[in-house]
Structure 1
Amino acid sequence: MDETLPAEPGRRERKRQQLQDHLAQTAWALFEADGFEAVTMERIADAADISKVTLYKHFPVKEAFLPYLFHQELAAAWPAIRGQLAAVPPGRPRLERFFALQAEWCERRRPYLLAYVRQRLTDKRDPAKAGEGRSGMDRMFAEMIAEGQEAGLFRRDQTPALLAHYLQFAHLAAMLRWLTQPGVALADALQQMLDLICDGMGSPR
């Protein structure tokens, strides 16, 4: 069976990506220097040396920079993360390791994550282009679940994609609990979430 490689982006698309990268890195430098709440879109436009019209064309609100930046970071880190996950058994141990690594990353990004979640939940983009804003977490979950199924550790009467879909919503609930309830440790919230996903709501023995 012939496999065709994805087409390389054309010059116009490359220029668009380069501009978006420039805008995102400019915004991130300002966020880190002065705090997310203090930075305005006008300041980002001035620092990037572009018009506000151009800035708003690519990023309609400053919260839109966060998915762009974080999803790039996750995609770049995934090969190294996959290597670390391969060092532990598939199934629940692999998911636990992934969430431990994620908790470490989230603690470093906590000042931005509530705004990030709100942006993801209120994104009004064209459904035909919605995939452009995906984090890729669904595919990562599905991959780990499929590995657990192949090892006979997870149920196989449902597809990895469907199980990953449910895991994503449970994961979001754990994240929101950590972000909105004082005194909650993210590592603990993620472990409790995983316990419920893996063990269900039956009474502990």
Structure 2
Amino acid sequence: MKNLTSSARKKIGNHFGPLIAGSMALFCVWFCNGLWHGAAWSFIFFGMYHFVLILLGNMIGPAVKKVNGKLHLRAESRGYRYMQIVRTAILVVIGELFFRAVSVQSGFNLCGRMFTTFSFTGLSFDTMSKLGIDVQDLIIVGITLVFVFIVSLLNEKGISVREKIAAWPIVWRWVLLYALILYIVIFGAYGFGYIPVDPMYAQF
């Protein structure tokens, strides 16, 4: 693999050369990732979808930098980073459509319906109540999202939440740990109305 990288670097440059060996490893990782989730083409497509996204991102990296330079866009600016977050979120959600679809064709149909039959009425409380989602569920989700957002924001600013907690007295660390465990047990998948299902990995 090292020889392949060195040879490719000489022939196609320092940027694209290392991508060949790296892409081979990346392909294996995401192919196995998709296959690991289930014996269905939709899961394999899910893995290949992320493989292509990462590969394209690596390939067009230099071109994006040139375009940003000509347009005087700073990748470190807050607006640019927010744009990247929104872009990534959209791409991940599209991938999840194929992950949950019963087939690849069904996944494409779901993507198409986002643009042809999309309606905000599907986000109404009436629709959510039919799905078994009540106000309490939304509050729990909101609290959890705020918690995750704060931790992520601190990590992006270089503040390691894990290291901060590790510096606490052991008693308070265990209090926090048990509090988080109880939060998941009480408000998570094991709460009222929990229905056990067979794991998707049982397909193998």
TM-score range, shorter chain: under 0.3
Query: Larger radius of gyration, structure 1 or 2?
Result: 2
Greater helix fraction, Structure 1 or Structure 2: 2
TM-score, structure 1 as length reference: 0.26
